Amino acid sequence: MQSILSSDDIKHILVVRLNKVGDMICTIPLLKTLRHHFKNAKITMLAEKPSAEIFTDTALVDDLIIYTRKHSLLRNRHLEVRKLLMDYKMRSNVKFDVAIGVKGGFSSFLAIIVFLSGAKIRIGYISNKNYLLNWCYNFPVNPIDFSMVHQTEACLNLLTAVGVHDFIKDTTIPIPSEQRDSAYKFLISNGLNPGNKIAVFNISNNRKTSTWQSANFIKLGKLLFENNGFRCIITCILSDRDKAIKICNEMKGNALFYETRHIMNFAAMVSMANFLIAGDGGAVHISASVGTPVVALFGQTNPAIYGPCGGGHIVLMSPNGDVNSITADTVFSAVRSGGRCLDMAPIKIIDYSAFGETIFSEEQIKMSERKQQGN
């Protein structure tokens, strides 16, 4: 089905997405679909730091408006956003033809931002209640059952308001050469080759119930090294740096700490690994978006909504809502069963989340083999 909008009439599109890294990755298919249907349109994204970094060096968006959250009793975020939009439109001498508030459900803040954009066509999810702010959207999208709809699908569904139904569901992101070179040099200087028995552990998480304890990472790292010769790269957010270094020291030379001050530093490193171990969150989505298999540990979050995109990933769901009930032995067994990233025959494993059986797909296995052959 063709869009009810003429691509010739759409010159400037504003996409508003004010969320963390994982949510931004889930927005990529929407951006790629917009680019495909409106090839001549300029796409501007209003996003938060540091999530906006994902789109700094890509063709997905033409421009960025950075919104910074401030924790102050005297602030008025609506006035702040209004000023951001006015300054941008004046500086760029543009008017928005389309504005889309991207979120898996209704948001009063997004509705107001989209309305303040002044766009002729304003798209977003409305509340299922008779809510005044529903009128901010003149191309409203009715709420759907988000309890079992993945975030990527929830984002793409917004485009049905203007007749777009053929979606591009690819979440792949490019890695800037500078970050890729830095990761490559780090591995080579430490006697490692990309794609050759490397596991990345991301130890940081925003949610306590999804934060795996240090002792689990240490035990898993030792199991991977002693049984299969894997070396581990430890990554984290800045505030967990000391914790990461301590984990490396406990693993007695089998692990290295890699500084990832920026999102794309992490993306570059994980792209050179055989797989990632991480609690659910942004790291999981970044790894999937660069083609590296993920073993994702879920606490209370629903993997049907927030799981990694694409095939070849293993999801382990805690039976009691605490990710630390998933033991290092369980994760090791899952990885061993998962495929040839450990040079073993692929065996199906039962996914803890009860969403079916999961193995590394043939596509992911071949990708892992190509990494090893190329190095």
Does 170 score more than 50 pLDDT?
A: yes
Does 269 score more than 80 pLDDT?
A: yes
Output the pLDDT for position 375.
41
Q: How far apart are CA 283 and CA 296, in angstroms?
A: 9
Contact yes or no for 303/353 (Cβ under 8 A): yes
What domains can you pick out in the chain, each with its CATH number? 12-162 (3.40.50.2000), 177-373 (3.40.50.2000)
Q: How far apart are CA 127 and CA 321, in angstroms?
A: 29
Query: What would the pLDDT profile of 33-44 be if each residue is shown by its tens digit?
Result: 999 999 999 999
Output the pLDDT for position 220.
97
- The first and second tokens of residue 281, run together, are 């969150």
Going by C-alpha positions, the residue among 5, 89, 49 that lies closest to residue 261 is 49
Going by C-alpha positions, the residue among 104, 100, 103 that lies closest to residue 115 is 100
Contact yes or no for 29/169 (Cβ under 8 A): yes
330-358 average pLDDT score: 49
Q: How far apart are CA 134 and CA 126, in angstroms?
A: 5
232-242 average pLDDT score: 96
Q: To which residue do tokens 């309305």 refer?
A: 115
Contact yes or no for 52/20 (Cβ under 8 A): no
Q: How far apart are CA 204 and CA 226, in angstroms?
A: 25
Between 340 and 319, the higher pLDDT residue: 319
Q: What's the first-to-final CA gap in the chain, in angstroms?
A: 45
Dihedral angle over CA of 291, 297, 300, 305, nearest 10: 20
Band of residue 71 on the pLDDT scale cut at 50, 70, 90: low
Does 358 score more than 80 pLDDT?
A: no
Going by C-alpha positions, the residue among 342, 51, 330 that lies closest to residue 197 is 342
By percentage, how much of the chain surpasses pLDDT 70? 88
355-374 average pLDDT score: 39
Does 354 score more than 90 pLDDT?
A: no
Query: What would the pLDDT profile of 95-114 be if each residue is shown by its tens digit?
Result: 999 999 999 899 999 999 99
Output the pLDDT for position 145.
84
Q: How many CA atoms lie within 13 A of 209 on its CB side?
A: 11
Band of residue 207 on the pLDDT scale cut at 50, 70, 90: confident
Query: What would the pLDDT profile of 178-203 be if each residue is shown by its tens digit?
Result: 999 999 999 999 999 999 999 999 99
By percentage, how much of the chain surpasses pLDDT 90? 69
Paired sense of beta strands 275-279 and 255-257, if any: unpaired
Band of residue 371 on the pLDDT scale cut at 50, 70, 90: very low
Going by C-alpha positions, the residue among 318, 307, 358 that lies closest to residue 151 is 307
| C-alpha distances in Å from residue 148, one per residue of 161, 303, 314 | 21, 9, 18
Kindly report the pTM of this predicted structure.
Answer: 0.87
Does 55 score more than 80 pLDDT?
A: yes
Query: What would the pLDDT profile of 112-140 be if each residue is shown by its tens digit?
Result: 999 999 999 999 999 988 789 999 999 99
